[in-house]
Structure 1
């Protein structure tokens, strides 16, 4: 049986869909029952048999910070996909980020070692791949530093260190570092914000860019790695490097909206950062623009995906196809 943490998120829900379609016995952790409806909704995008597939999952209420619930969840498990994480780029959330992402991952590693599972797949982020400033592409071996890194990336790096510690204790593991994951259903977070932004027809686009990949490619590569003899490796999962201008242009066109044509200047972003900080002080809302955010926009990385392509002979899904598919669903849910 397979255990999935973070099963109610973008990657986790698509992973559960893939596993149930392949008739693999699967157990998934959830924290609150209201999140389960989102998984059913994701399933319905792809099949008319969504409820039957959903009912194949053995759901266990628990938390990666709650050891007893993990001990209950790990019984008779042979593989673990660790997709759970807390995502925030607000420096004031650092303590919570460290607790969930580092400590929670340490708990998963410890429980996997104690239970003697066959393999662990840890879902990290492209943010833990080191930056290059000389025009070279970033690889899995590029040195990483905390300097100018956002708090989410810092705590995910710490989480990776826990997984590598597990490897030293004879835990078979793989780490995946996806770029921006394109997929439907989570419109208020992650890549969903690109669809939400494009739908409003703004004139301005942010500078910089990133690596992008479809969610279906991510879960396919994860399961392929888990069912291989590969272990003690990490892999960049990026299908294509794109500027934010290009990705917003593609999404806007599929929505029948006018693409943005004006780049945001860095002085505008710095004014926005100050206003954003004042908004946080007076309203208690989370920060969305920080110095680290602007640094990342000013110094975008180009990511090299040759390592995963060498070990898994597969063609990446067209990002245009995923964008079209997701845009249609966004329109259907917001019309």
Structure 2
């Protein structure tokens, strides 16, 4: 039996649909009933038989940070896809990210070891891969440096990876994927999918920072191929193309037949804006529109190599332009 954590998130929901195409028994955890509707929406992008596929999943209400609720989830489990995580650039969420991303992963690892599962796939992030040295292309060999100006999300995802490696030392085969910015259909008001909503609504600003992007279907494809292969105790960067935010924003606008964002934001402008946003958030109690590290990410320039996954599995990625067009087509106009 397969267990999926984070099944009500972007990667997890797309993964679950693809898992239902096979005859394996599937169990997934959820925390609230309303999130299940978002999973059904994702299924609807693939098939008209949503109920048929959704009914193949055994849903269990649990929280990865709560051991008693998670123990029943591991009964008869042989494979685990650990997709659950808290993503935030807001410093005030750091403690909660440590709880979910590190402590929650430690619980998953402990239960996987106890249940003697065959294999565990962990969805990490390029944020947890070491930074470039002298501007070189980043690979899986880049080492994490505690002295870098790492943001809370990166720190907690790296900490989670350390827990997963611990599982590999205690009898559980593991694979880790480190996706770039994931573009996919659904969850339009959160995460990277929010980019489509913003551009559709006429977002006017752009930056020229560069990072790695990948389609969610490629992430799911790589995960399932790795889990069904002999590969073990390895990590893989998943990036289709390294692109600027400007290029991505313009591609999304073209897919929607909307005007391109026209106002280039410079680093000094975001440096001012994130400070103003921080002050406003202190008075209002609302989430800041921009933080120090999200501003830094918007202007940072990092190039990632996915050569390892392409050679190991003879894997090929979809072009980002193709991904953007498909996601835009699924957008609820």
Taking structure 2 as the reference length, what is the TM-score of the superposition?
0.97
**Helix, strand or coil: the match of 2:287?**
coil
Partner in structure 1 of residue 100 of structure 2: 100
Report if the CA contact (8 A) 2:5-2:82 is conserved.
yes
Q: Is 2:145 the counterpart of 1:145?
A: yes
**Helix, strand or coil: the match of 1:63?**
coil
Partner in structure 1 of residue 180 of structure 2: 179
**Helix, strand or coil: the match of 2:156?**
helix
My pick for the range that moved more, 126-135 or 251-260, is 126-135
List runs of 5+ in structure 2 lacking aligned partners.
none
Partner in structure 2 of residue 46 of structure 1: 46
Instruction: Tell me the distance in 2 between the aligned counterparts of 1:74 and 1:281.
Output: 42
Partner in structure 2 of residue 219 of structure 1: 220
Report if the CA contact (8 A) 1:133-1:299 is conserved.
no
**Helix, strand or coil: the match of 2:45?**
helix
Q: Is 2:37 the counterpart of 1:37?
A: yes
Partner in structure 1 of residue 81 of structure 2: 81
Q: Is 2:295 the counterpart of 1:294?
A: yes
CA shift for structure 1 position 203: 3.3
CA shift for structure 1 position 183: 0.4
Instruction: Tell me the distance in 2 between the aligned counterparts of 1:46 and 1:24.
Output: 19
- Number of aligned residue pairs: give it: 332
**Helix, strand or coil: the match of 1:46?**
coil
Partner in structure 1 of residue 326 of structure 2: 325
Partner in structure 1 of residue 208 of structure 2: 207
Report if the CA contact (8 A) 1:210-1:300 is conserved.
yes
CA shift for structure 1 position 288: 4.1
Q: Is 2:236 the counterpart of 1:235?
A: yes
Instruction: Tell me the distance in 1 between the aligned counterparts of 2:304 and 2:86.
Output: 24
Partner in structure 2 of residue 305 of structure 1: 306
Q: Is 2:264 the counterpart of 1:266?
A: no
Instruction: Tell me the distance in 2 between the aligned counterparts of 1:230 and 1:69.
Output: 31
CA shift for structure 1 position 133: 4.8
Report if the CA contact (8 A) 1:90-1:288 is conserved.
no
Q: Once superposed, what is the RMSD of the aligned Cα atoms?
A: 1.3
Report if the CA contact (8 A) 2:206-2:261 is conserved.
yes
Instruction: Tell me the distance in 1 between the aligned counterparts of 2:105 and 2:37.
Output: 26
Taking structure 1 as the reference length, what is the TM-score of the superposition?
0.96
Instruction: Tell me the distance in 2 between the aligned counterparts of 1:299 and 1:202.
Output: 20
Report if the CA contact (8 A) 1:27-1:60 is conserved.
yes
Partner in structure 1 of residue 55 of structure 2: 55
Instruction: Tell me the distance in 2 between the aligned counterparts of 1:68 and 1:8.
Output: 20
